[in-house]
Amino acid sequence: RAEPSMIKKMSPSESDFAIPSKNCYRMVILGSTKVGKTAIVSRFLNGRFEEQYTPTIEDFHRKLYSIKGDVYQLDILDTSGNHPFPAMRRLSILTGDVFILVFSLDNRDSFQEVQRLKRQIFETKSCLKNKIKENIDVPLVICGNKGDREFHREVQQEEIDQLVAGDDTCAYFEISAKRNENVDTMFRTLFTLAKLPHEMSPDLHRKVSVQYCDMLQRKSLKNKKMKDIGEAYGVVTPCARRPSVHSDLMYIKEKAIGGGQGKDKERCVIS
C-alpha cells in the first residue's frame, strides 16, 4: 500500500481531511474602511491589485499549506472597518491568532483608529488569557498603506515610532498594496513573530490549485514516493465559508485551554 502523502491531506475534497488544531491559525485584518485591507488580502491570496473600490462586509478565506511535510490551515478574516456590531469585532479579535492593523498614510483618522484597535486587541486578549496587559503577546503587524501616495501624507514617522516602540511582538511596515512594495516582507515578519513557518508568506511557497493538488497526489501514489515532501505548497480553498459564531466560540475555548491556563481561567464575557 502506498504511503498516505501530505498532499493527499491537503486536498480539501478529501473526507479524511484533518489538520491538528495546533497547526490552525486565524489571521484577522482590521482598520478603517478604504485603507486597503482587502487589497492586502488580495495580494496575499492571488497577487492581484484592484483599482476599483468594493466595500467589504466581512470576507472569509482559507489557505492550506504543506510545508516540509507538515500541514497548516490559515483562515483569513477581512473585516469591514465600520463595525455596526461591536460584539462581532470583539469576536474577531478573540478568534484572531495573528493581526494586521492597517491605516492609510494619507489619512489621519485611520491612524487614530489603529491606535484604538491596538489597545482594544490587548485589552480583549488579556481578558481571555487572564493576564496583565504587559505579559500577553499577540503577534501583530501595523501597516501604513498607500506609501505610493507620498504627496498626500498625513501621518508622521515619529508618531508611528511611538505606537510601535517597546513591543517585541509588534512590527511596523510602510507598504503599498498597489505597487506591491514591502507586502511580502510584512507577511514574512508576521509569520516569524507568530513562530509560524515563514514559507507561509506569499513569495516563499509554490501556489498550486486544488486540481494540481489532486494531480500531484495521483502522481505520488503511482511513484509510491513523495519527492516533493521537503517543499512548501499553498492552496487557496475555493468557497471557504465563515464558521458560525458557535464554532468561533468553540475555537476560542480550545485555544484558551490549549494555552495551558484552562483551570483557573476567569470567565470572559463576549458582549
Ligand X SMILES: Nc1nc2c(ncn2[C@@H]2O[C@H](COP(=O)(O)OP(=O)(O)O)[C@@H](O)[C@H]2O)c(=O)[nH]1
Residue 178 near ligand X by CB under 6 A: yes
Segment contacting ligand X by CB under 6 A, of 16-24, 90-98, 145-153, 197-205? 145-153
Q: Per CB under 6 A, which of residues 4..43 are in contact with ligand X?
A: 31, 33-39
Segment contacting Mg ion by CB under 5 A, of 53-61, 165-173, 214-222, 247-255? 53-61
Contact 140, 170 (CB under 8 A): yes
* Smallest separation (angstroms) from ligand X to the CB of 104: 8
DSSP 224: T
DSSP 130: T
Q: Which of 17, 45, 49, 56 binds Mg ion (CB under 5 A)?
A: 56
DSSP 93: H
Question: How far is residue 255 from each of residues 24, 98, 220, 259, measured CA to CA in Å?
Answer: 10, 13, 34, 6
Residue 148 near ligand X by CB under 6 A: yes
> 70-78 and 59-67: which strand pairing?
antiparallel
Q: Which of 5, 92, 176, 220 binds ligand X (CB under 6 A)?
A: 176
Residue 97 near ligand X by CB under 6 A: no
* Smallest separation (angstroms) from Mg ion to the CB of 28: 13
Per DSSP, the residues of 246-263 read HHHHHHHHHHHHHTT--T
Q: Cα torsion at 166, 170, 174, 177 (round to 10°)?
A: -170
Name the site residues for ligand X (rule: CB under 6 A): 31, 33-39, 50-53, 56, 81, 145-146, 148-149, 176-178
